[in-house]
Structures are given as structure tokens and as C-alpha cells.
Structure 1
Amino acid sequence: MSLSSAFVLIDAAAHDLKGFDCGKPSLNDYLSRFAVRNSSLGLSRTWVLTELVAQGKAPVAAYFTLASSTVTRELLPSQPKSLPAYPVPVVLLARLGVSLTQQGRQLGAKTLVQALRTALELTDTGLPALGVVLDVLDEAALKFYQHMGLFTPLTDQPMRLFVPMSTLRQL
């Protein structure tokens, strides 16, 4: 099945959210039950890449969700003294999933790259953020993110990863 050319903001009227299955129930459930609602409440934004269909709702091939968050200087891998002692803003990569039908086609890496580009664009257009933080779902996901070579674990939190915006700007 062919895929659309770009990630777009989620639209319950145009996207088949209930048919998505990435093999991780919590990610499936979030997309089908909470992504649209959280977006309408201003809590997060979800972007989807869909399969091309002639009619009806387009199946979701992959998605990611971004939200605002904070981290304290003490948790950062390098603890710059120039940062304030109070929590600093970051973009949270809250969710990332790829449909089972699309796995094994490098779509996970493409989705991650798009999520990081989107986070960088958001910071360049007005959302201040020191970097991107993500909470790793499981060991398989940790290996995926480690393979990308961008992320560093937060201090004392090996399943919470960080990449500074300065690193993303160099890519």
C-alpha cells in the first residue's frame, strides 16, 4: 500500500484511528481514544502518516505526538551552570508508533526524524525548548532510540532520553 507524502495533524473525520495496530496496546489505545481529545484540549498535538485510499477514512501507517514539558537542570546529561535552577522547557515526544503492516520498512526512523524536525520547527517559531525528551516504552524501543545515536539518558533515569536542540540543528 502506498503512503501519503507527508505527516499531517490528526483528523478523526479523515483518519481511521481505531484500525491502527502497532503491537503495543498503550500506543494503539492512545491514538484511538485520546489523541484527538488531547489535541482539542491543547494538551498535545498528534501527526499521522496515512496509507493512500480511494475513499473512506485513511488507515494510519505511523504517528507521533508532541507536548510541552519541563526537566530540571540536575537531570540533564550535561548540567550547564548557565541554566536556571528551576525546571526548563523541553518538547516531550510523548508517543511514536508504526503500524504492524508497515514495520520493517524504516518507517520508525522516518517517523522519529519527522518528530524531531517538527519539534525543532516549533522551537524556531515560538515554543521555547532546550531539547526533546522521551520516555521509552520498553527495552525494544530503547534499542531503537540508541541505534539512532542521538539520545542520552537523563541522570538516574535510563528509560528517559534527551537530545538538545543544538544537536538537532546540526543534523
Structure 2
Amino acid sequence: MALAAEFVLLDAALHDLKGFDCGKASLNDYLSRYAVRNSGLGLSRTWVLTEQAEHGKLPIAAYYTLASSTVAREELPAQNKSLPTYPVPVVLLARLGVSVHYQGQQLGAKTLVQALRTALELADRGLPALGVVLDVLDDATLRFYQHMGMFMPLTDQPQRLFVPMGTIRQLS
């Protein structure tokens, strides 16, 4: 099945939320039950890449969710003494999932790069953000992010990662 040309904002009227399966129940459940509601509440935004379909709701091949967050300066990998002592703004990569039908085809990397570019675009348009933070679900996912070569542990917990906006800018 052919994929759409770009990621678009999630729309429950157009996209098949319940048909998505990435093999991780928490990510499937978030998309089908909470993504639209959280968007309506202004808590986060979810972008989807769909399959092209002739009729019915469009199947989702991959998605990511971004939200605003803050981190303490002390948690940052390279502490910048010029930063304030109060929490600094970041973009939270809250969710990222790829349908089991597309795993192993580099769609995860494409989705991650698109999520980071969207975060950078939001920062460039005025959303204050020092970088992107994400929490890793499991060891396999951690290896995926480590393989990308740009993420640093945010704290002493290797499951919480950070990438500065300057590094993301180099992707463009």
C-alpha cells in the first residue's frame, strides 16, 4: 500500500485510530483513546502518516505526538551556567509509533526525523524550547534512539533522553 506524501495533524473523522497496531499496547491505546481528546484540551498534538485508501477512514502507518514541557537546568547533559535556575522549556516527544506492517522499513527513523523537524519548526515560530526530551519505553526502543547517534541521557536514568535544538537544526 502506498503512503501519503507527508505527516498531517490527526483527525478522527479521517483517520482510522482503532485499526492502528504497532505492537505496543500503550501506544495503540494512546492513539485510539487519548490523542484526539488531548489535542482538544490543548495538551498535545499528534501527527500521522497514512496509507492511501480509496474509501473509508485512512489507515495510519506511523504517528508521533509532541507537547510542551520543562526540565531543570541540573538535568541537562551539558549544564549551561547562563541558563536560569528555574525549569527551562523543551518539546516533549510524548509518543512515536510505527504500524507492525511497516516496521523494519526505516519508517521509524523517518518518523523520528519528522517529529524533530516539527519540534524545530515550532521553536522557530516562537515556541520557546531548548531541545527535545523523550522517555523511552523499553530496551529495544532505547537501542533505536541510541542508533540515531544524537540523543544524550537527560538525567542519570538512561531511559530519559535529550537532543538540543542546535543538533536538530543540523538535520535540516
Q: TM-score, normalised by structure 1?
A: 0.99
Write the mapping of 1:9-158 to structure 2, written as runs, cut at 5 A.
9-158=9-158
What amino acid does structure 2 have at the position aligned with 1:80? N
1:162 corresponds to: 162
SS in 2 for 1:161: strand
| Cα distance in 2 for residues equivalent to 1:82 and 1:138 | 34
What amino acid does structure 2 have at the position aligned with 1:153? P
1:5 corresponds to: 5
Q: Percent identity?
A: 80
Alpha-carbon RMSD: 0.5
User: What's the CA shift string for 1:12-59, capped at 9, x where partnerless?
Assistant: 000000000000000000000000000010000000000000010000
In structure 1, stretches of 5+ residues that fail to align are: none
152-161 vs 130-139, which deviates more? 152-161
SS in 2 for 1:30: helix
User: What's the CA shift string for 1:98-119, capped at 9, x where partnerless?
Assistant: 0001111100000000000000
Equivalent pairs counted in the alignment come to: 171
Deviation at 1:155, TM superposition (A): 2.3
SS in 2 for 1:158: coil
Q: Runs (4+) of structure 1 moved beyond 6 Å?
A: none
In structure 2, stretches of 5+ residues that fail to align are: none
User: What's the CA shift string for 1:80-123, capped at 9, x where partnerless?
Assistant: 00000000000000000000011111000000000000000000
Deviation at 1:170, TM superposition (A): 1.9
